[in-house]
Structure 1
Amino acid sequence: MLLCACSAQAEKVQIASFDQAQGQAINLLGHWFPSKAAAQAPAPAVVLLHGCGGPYDKKGALSERMLNYIDVLNAEGWHALVLDSLTPRGEKELCTQKIGTRSVTMTERRRDTFGALHWLAARADVDPARLALLGWSNGGSTVLASSNKRHAEVQAAAGLGIKLRAAVAFYPGCEADLKRGYAPLAPLLILSGGSDDWTAAAPCEALVKASEPQGMAKPQIKVYPGAFHGFDALAPVRLRADVPNGVTPGAGVHVGGQAAAREASRQDLLSFLREHLN
């Protein structure tokens, strides 16, 4: 089971986003967790991209989910960086905001991701050739938006030397990149719930099928039967009536863990990252 050992210690860092305000780069808040298990420097590093609720719990500390995955990644010898895209922009959450009204969109989050990758690549203890993205929900969509070569900004970032070895998206919304067409910058794994009524699996399956690898490995997708949005959580499934988006707008969405999907997705995640980062 994915339980938190909470052994990791964070260092708060400032990261310059590729996004700007009044001609100046927006400074993001990052939480840096170097791995003590890294055999030697430089080591791989993973950027953790939060969902629409942000990276924190109700008390303002990093969420249990984030701490769980940080422990898992650090134990593998990989550094971890949690990126906060909301607080520097005066937002606490996006979940209750309709998609078309949000001030923090995939454009801002993609530029934040590039800033994080740039920051990691400059560190002496990080191998710039072994960087990965890991995101959940809105952060999973950010993984897609940051690794799709059909976006001009992704092409431009690659031209600046920003490299990506692997990308993993837990229950992302895939409609936007399905419509645009998906050409992967790096090997991609999508992990979706078969009963997800917030970000359905079907568009992600269609994205994988229609993707244009262009010399890259075909994206992979795992769909866990009967699993809802947030299936890797420990909390039970509940209805969130305050979410205006979803498969049936206005009807709310179901969110919560499923033990079988939680265990399977952890193994699928680790197998994929071990293949590409080690």
Structure 2
Amino acid sequence: MLTRPRLLLMSWLLALSAGALASDAAHRVQIASLPQQDGKPLALSGYWFPAANGAEAKARPAVLLLHGCGGALGRQADQLSERMHSYRTLLNQEGWHVLVLDSLSPRGERELCTQRIGSRQVTMRERRRDTLGALQWLAARAEVDPARLALLGWSNGGSTVLASTAADHEEVQANPAKPRAAVAFYPGCEAELKRGYRAQAPLLMLLGAADDWTPAKPCEQLAAAVPKQLGSAAIQFQSYAGAYHGFDSAAPMRLRREVPNGVNPGAGVHVGGNAQAWAASREALLGFLREQLK
């Protein structure tokens, strides 16, 4: 017998599939990152999904999607991943514009998951600069309300959400386009916790309590430290019992031994979907963004 969360997810997936078939294909766009180490901006790939009739109505909110270490693309190099497609459809159905940003392909990278964090060529600095450049691109569009921008990221992209909303970082402070809200699925929080993170915008973190890749505890500690950080926007979190990394999918649970990072380096990490956590996190995501972007 199907449980209620699974029934809800099946209904949602069917609706998303219908919406995807009925919608226009993505508009491929170029996004200028902030200047790189050589002082020059980098042209990034973007996939622009305007909300239906967006040009005919008043300016609408826009959500910037930031991929995890696996990149924005699926198995075929010219197509977005299933996760990016499903979430952009969900957000388009809310009447919001969506931009999916690809930080890896323009740099000749396919994925970062199997690379040790200290050896990665695409670091959090590059991803933050990409994000800030994309926010400027969104704010300059006539159909976008620059006062209602949001960030949404997963894993490495969730960490990018934190890095791009760190109120004390000089690049974040200087960027003219600022998000009104930010959501991070299972980010790595250790670095920002050590730095004394202050949120530039209201932040929601959606965490797997059993996550052994990017554990929930540092993120919970980060949220608990917010009252001590004067001038920080509010931080909320939801931790889902029994949920591992990548819980917002229908993928079966598996051990990825090729991943060198995680709670137990060298032992691999668990990744897989959790129907109950997926359904609950989807409702939390939409409720948060509806409130922040109204």
- TM bucket normalised to smaller: over 0.9
Deviation sequence 1:139-198 (CA, Å, 0-9, x none): 0000000001122221222xxx22210000000000000000111100000000010000
1:259 corresponds to: 275
1:47 corresponds to: 64
**8 Å Cα contact 1:193-1:226 kept in structure 2:** yes
Matched, 1:33 2:49: yes
* Residue identity in the other structure for 1:27: A
Ranges in structure 1 where 5+ consecutive residues have no aligned partner: none
**8 Å Cα contact 1:15-1:27 kept in structure 2:** yes
**8 Å Cα contact 1:19-1:112 kept in structure 2:** no
2:126 corresponds to: 108
Which region of structure 1 is more displaced relative to structure 2, 80-89 or 148-157?
148-157
1:63 corresponds to: 81
**8 Å Cα contact 2:205-2:236 kept in structure 1:** yes
* Residue identity in the other structure for 1:245: N
* Residue identity in the other structure for 1:191: L
**8 Å Cα contact 1:37-1:75 kept in structure 2:** no
Which region of structure 1 is more displaced relative to structure 2, 47-56 or 4-13?
4-13
* Residue identity in the other structure for 1:19: P
Q: Structure 2 length normalisation: TM-score?
A: 0.90
1:148 corresponds to: 166
2:35 corresponds to: 19
Distance in 1 (CA, whole Å) between partners of 2:45 and 2:159 is 20
**8 Å Cα contact 1:191-1:223 kept in structure 2:** yes
How many Å apart are 1:233 and its aligned residue? Answer: 0.9
1:133 corresponds to: 151
How many Å apart are 1:103 and its aligned residue? Answer: 0.7
**Local SS of the residue matching 1:25:** coil
Deviation sequence 1:220-272 (CA, Å, 0-9, x none): 00000000000001111111000000000000000010000000000000000
**Local SS of the residue matching 1:176:** helix
* Residue identity in the other structure for 1:220: Q
* Residue identity in the other structure for 1:198: W
Distance in 1 (CA, whole Å) between partners of 2:218 and 2:53 is 38
1:10 corresponds to: 26
Query: Which one of 150, 169, 179 corresponds to residue 164 of structure 1?
Result: 179
Query: Which one of 285, 290, 293 corresponds to residue 269 of structure 1?
Result: 285
Distance in 2 (CA, whole Å) between partners of 1:106 and 1:37 is 35
Distance in 1 (CA, whole Å) between partners of 2:181 and 2:65 is 13
Distance in 2 (CA, whole Å) between partners of 1:70 and 1:24 is 30
Distance change in 2, residues 1:213/1:124 (3 Å): farther
Distance in 2 (CA, whole Å) between partners of 1:23 and 1:128 is 26
Which region of structure 1 is more displaced relative to structure 2, 227-236 or 35-44?
35-44
Deviation sequence 1:21-50 (CA, Å, 0-9, x none): 633210000000001065823100000000
Distance in 2 (CA, whole Å) between partners of 1:135 and 1:41 is 26
* Residue identity in the other structure for 2:252: P
Deviation sequence 1:194-233 (CA, Å, 0-9, x none): 1000000000000111125544542000000000000001
Deviation sequence 1:104-146 (CA, Å, 0-9, x none): 0110000000010000000000000000000000000000000
- What RMSD, in angstroms, separates the aligned Cα atoms of the two structures? 1.4
Q: Which aligned pairs between 1:78-89 and structure 2 lie closer than 5 A?
A: 78-89=96-107
Point out 4+ residue stretches in structure 1 off by more than 6 angstroms.
Answer: none
**8 Å Cα contact 2:155-2:187 kept in structure 1:** yes
Q: Structure 1 length normalisation: TM-score?
A: 0.96
Matched, 1:189 2:204: yes
**Local SS of the residue matching 1:275:** helix
Matched, 1:249 2:265: yes
**Local SS of the residue matching 2:98:** strand
Distance change in 2, residues 1:196/1:37 (3 Å): farther
Percent of aligned positions that are identical: 63
**8 Å Cα contact 1:37-1:74 kept in structure 2:** no
**8 Å Cα contact 1:96-1:244 kept in structure 2:** yes
2:217 corresponds to: 202
